[in-house]
Amino acid sequence: MKIKKIALGLAAALLLAGVAGWFSLDRETRGLLATLPTNKDLLFWSQPQRDAAFRALDRLPVLARSRVVQAGAAPMPLPAGAPLKLPLDVDAYMAGQRSAALLVVHDGKLRLERYGLGFDGNGRWTSFSVAKSMTSTLVGAAIRDGHLRSMDDKLTDYIPEMKGSAYDVVSVRQLLTMTSGVRWNEDYADPNSDVARFNNHKPEEGVDALVSYLRKLPREAAPGTRWNYSTGETNLVGILVSRATGKPLASYLSEKIWRPAGMEQQATWLLSRTGQEISGCCLQAASRDFARFGQFILQGARVNGQAIVPDGWLAEATTERIGIGQPGRGYGYQWWTFADGSFTAVGIFGQAIFIDPRRKLVIVSNANWAGGARDQRAKDAREGFYQAVQKAIDEEPRH
């Protein structure tokens, strides 16, 4: 009986402590706990779960393995510029996008900064496939540093476990342009697609989970002849860079970009079950730091006048290397390209970094689109917003 009373007393104390703790939490954390996802299949989470989780993926118990990307001590300035005058209702646009953040940087000045979904400039939002463009930039850095010899090196030179698979003759360049010719299904709505299934794949003992999955896939086309979007292959690029540099991808990102280019906050990068950064996805960062990354690319991927990638490499990366079957659109080295010279990094639920070199323009979007990658209305509205910003800048008086 005494033990029972002690147990009941302890339970009551814990309950009171829990209630007190709940009311001491900030709104973000309370919202997260109230809708906490309990499975790893984030492509199939509900909208309220995504609203809460996209600001805290690195803190979810079900996904909490991550590695920190350290920031430096001297943030890149983002001084305020004159408010941008747009011929549209920005609040209505953000509501339609389900925007968490919207930033416009023009000529190095922050001319628009708005937040939604209870998010703000102090939080980190997940990147999804925006991370692909960062991983690509680290390939350029690894070539300049001498860790990778050439874009035409074979993947198997760095990941010998892929020998004997359909990737035997695939080059680094073909991985970056998603033209390996290896079969891959990226249908986000299909629970049996490769992008959904490989997360639950059980690897052979001692083999990276992704390598284990990809080396079993068959070839469908000759390398370099067909474009097929594959997050799995970007994740493979991350393993390649880590192997070549001998460093975790988060550490190399911090060394080459995050610290020298002046990011203000540390970022985090989610890890796979075998401890590798998921390089095609899932970098959590502040919205202003996504803008700083865009500005860094706009300035030629340079730090103090010194490029971190080889001469001419960034121009190749951000212009069309392969057509994607859409007029005026193409794909570079993990960047989506437009015929007017602009290019963009894109994530599935409305994350994006749009860069227009001619206008010295960077636009950052963080969001949780209701329809995900299939939300064509949201895509069209975002491109309409880009065009409205471009037109507003073109029509401004020149001084």
CATH of the domain at 367: 3.40.710.10
Please check whether residue 43 is in contact with residue 196, taking contact to mean a CB–CB distance below 8 angstroms.
Answer: yes
Q: Per DSSP, which regions of the chain are E strands?
A: 66-69, 99-106, 109-115, 125-126, 267-270, 283-285, 302-303, 306-307, 322-323, 329-331, 336-338, 343-346, 352-356, 361-367
Task: Verify that 176 and 323 share a domain, yes or no.
Answer: yes
Q: Which residue has the higher pLDDT, 273 or 294?
A: 294
Task: Verify that 85 and 61 share a domain, yes or no.
Answer: no
pLDDT computed for residue 1 by the predictor: 40
User: Would you say how long the chain is, in residues?
Assistant: 399
Please check whether residue 95 is in contact with residue 396, taking contact to mean a CB–CB distance below 8 angstroms.
Answer: no
DSSP letters, 333-352, are SS-EEETTS-EEEE-TTS-E
Domain closes at, from 13, 35, 65: 65
* pLDDT tens, position by position, 353-390: 999 999 999 999 999 999 877 789 999 999 999 999 99
pTM (2 d.p.): 0.90
Task: Verify that 57 and 195 share a domain, yes or no.
Answer: no
Task: Verify that 57 and 35 share a domain, yes or no.
Answer: yes
Domain closes at, from 23, 45, 65: 65
Whether 260 is covered by a domain: the verdict is yes
Beta bridge partners of 99: 367
Task: Verify that 169 and 60 share a domain, yes or no.
Answer: no
Task: Verify that 58 and 166 share a domain, yes or no.
Answer: no
Task: Verify that 26 and 78 share a domain, yes or no.
Answer: no
Q: Which domain holds residue 306?
A: 67-394
pLDDT computed for residue 157 by the predictor: 96
Number of domains into which the chain is organized: 2
Tokens encoding 235: 């994740």
Beta bridge partners of 283: 269
Task: Verify that 53 and 169 share a domain, yes or no.
Answer: no
Domain closes at, from 65, 96, 116: 65
pLDDT computed for residue 34 by the predictor: 58
Whether 257 is covered by a domain: the verdict is yes
Task: Verify that 303 and 361 share a domain, yes or no.
Answer: yes
